[in-house]
Amino acid sequence: MMKEQWMEVLNNRPIALDTYEMTLHGKLASSMTQPGQFLHLKIGDGFRHVLRRPLSIADVDQEDQTVKIIYKVIGEGTKWLSQAKPGNQIHVLGPRGHGFPVENVADQHIYLIGGGVGVPPLYYLGKQLAENNRVTAVLGFQTKDAVFYEEKFQELGETMILTDDGSYGKRGLVTDVLESKMDLYYSCGPLGMLHAVTRKLNDVKGYVSLEERMGCGIGACFACVCKTTDPNDERGYRKICKDGPVFPAKEVVLWQI
């Protein structure tokens, strides 16, 4: 269950502004069945970069043993990834964490609510949900050039694109279009968005996927904790890398400091 492996880059291409889709191949792919889990990737040679980078599983093809990740170039790690060429090997630890619960979810009308690079894990999730449910995707991006995977989501169900600057789709925030009469929602994106979404859909059952800077990525270092909402919770915190990154929306505190 705890696995690490070199995976081979099959493809690595820009799909939007500063955003790349990388296809990795390797046996590890066969364990990547749960949407919302992440891969923990080693950057570069040796120990120049002592921390791995967490990136969500965006899609998996079990037959080909391939997994797709979609990442935005932010700093040194993602820049290094963006320069990888087909044939390069990348050291991967994963799949890590607990993803979106999908078992026994059927005949529901479901929101997939994503913001920016929070969108990728929703795609693999949507593919699984769309089989037995009605799926509506609400995806927010900063600007037109940042939009990706619109058509792929359209294949799964109704898809609304919003941009902050109105350069594509509707102008505004995802919360502008959300309605409460849904059965279930799954959301991934910046903390501010998640916070707004959970408030707006207060009466709807939902799951959110959180981000935090990680040390170990396996639950040993306490770098990635968040607080629980229940003051009587036995521990009072959750580890995002291990207990999460996906939590029931009501379980964790989204707005702190």
Partner 1 sequence: MADLNVSLPGLNLKNPIMPASGCFGFGREFSEFYDLNQLGAIVIKAATGEARYGNPTPRVAETPSGMLNAIGLQNPGVDQIIEKELPFLESFDVPIVANVAGSTVEEYVEVTEKISRHPVIQAIELNISCPNVKEGGIQFGTDPKTAAHLTEKVKEVSEKPVYVKLSPNVTDIVEMAKAVADAGADGLSMINTLTGMRFDLHKKRPIIANETGGLSGPAIKPIALRMIYQVRQALDLPIIGMGGITSAEDVVEFLLAGADAVAIGTANFLDPYICPNVIESLPNTLEKYGFSSVQECRLKGE
Ligand X SMILES: Cc1cc2nc3c(=O)[nH]c(=O)nc-3n(C[C@H](O)[C@H](O)[C@H](O)COP(=O)(O)O)c2cc1C
Q: Kindly list the residues in this chain that would bind ligand X in the complex (CB under 6 A).
A: 215, 221
96 binds partner 1 (CB under 8 A): no
Helices (H), the chain: 76-82, 120-129, 150-154, 191-200
133 binds ligand FAD (CB under 6 A): no
Residue 74, classified by CB atoms within 10 Å of its CB into exposed (0-12), middle (13-18) or buried (19+), is exposed
Q: How far, CA to CA in Å, does 138 sit from each of 19, 188, 237?
A: 19, 11, 29
177 binds partner 1 (CB under 8 A): no
2 binds partner 1 (CB under 8 A): yes
The one-letter amino acid code at 177 reads V
CB environment 27-47: b (16+ within 10 A), e (fewer):
ebbeebebbbbbbbbbbeeee
4 binds partner 1 (CB under 8 A): yes
207 binds ligand FAD (CB under 6 A): no
85 binds a copy of itself (CB under 8 A): no
Q: Cα separation of 192 and 194, whole Å?
A: 6
Radius of gyration for the alpha carbons in the chain, expressed in angstroms and rounded: 18
Identified binder of partner 1 from the candidate list 62, 131, 166, 221, rule CB under 8 A: 221
> Could you tell which of ligand X, ligand FAD, a copy of itself, none binds residue 163, using a CB distance below 5 to 8 A set by kind?
none
**Closest distance of CB 107 from ligand FAD, Å:** 29
Q: Tell me the number of residues near ligand FES by CB under 6 A.
A: 12
213 binds partner 1 (CB under 8 A): yes
**Closest distance of CB 235 from ligand X, Å:** 18
- Contact criterion met (CB below 8 Å) for 71 and 117: yes
**Closest distance of CB 76 from a copy of itself, Å:** 8
**Closest distance of CB 40 from ligand X, Å:** 16
**Closest distance of CB 224 from ligand FES, Å:** 4
Kind of pairing, strands 89-96 and 38-41? antiparallel
**Closest distance of CB 222 from a copy of itself, Å:** 28
- Contact criterion met (CB below 8 Å) for 193 and 140: yes
Residue 180, classified by CB atoms within 10 Å of its CB into exposed (0-12), middle (13-18) or buried (19+), is exposed
- Contact criterion met (CB below 8 Å) for 168 and 144: yes
Identified binder of ligand FAD from the candidate list 46, 75, 87, 231, rule CB under 6 A: 75
Identified binder of a copy of itself from the candidate list 14, 44, 86, 192, rule CB under 8 A: 44
Contacts with a copy of itself by CB under 8 A lie at 44-46, 48, 76, 80
Contacts with partner 1 by CB under 8 A lie at 1-2, 4, 42, 46-52, 93, 212-227, 235-237, 242, 256-257
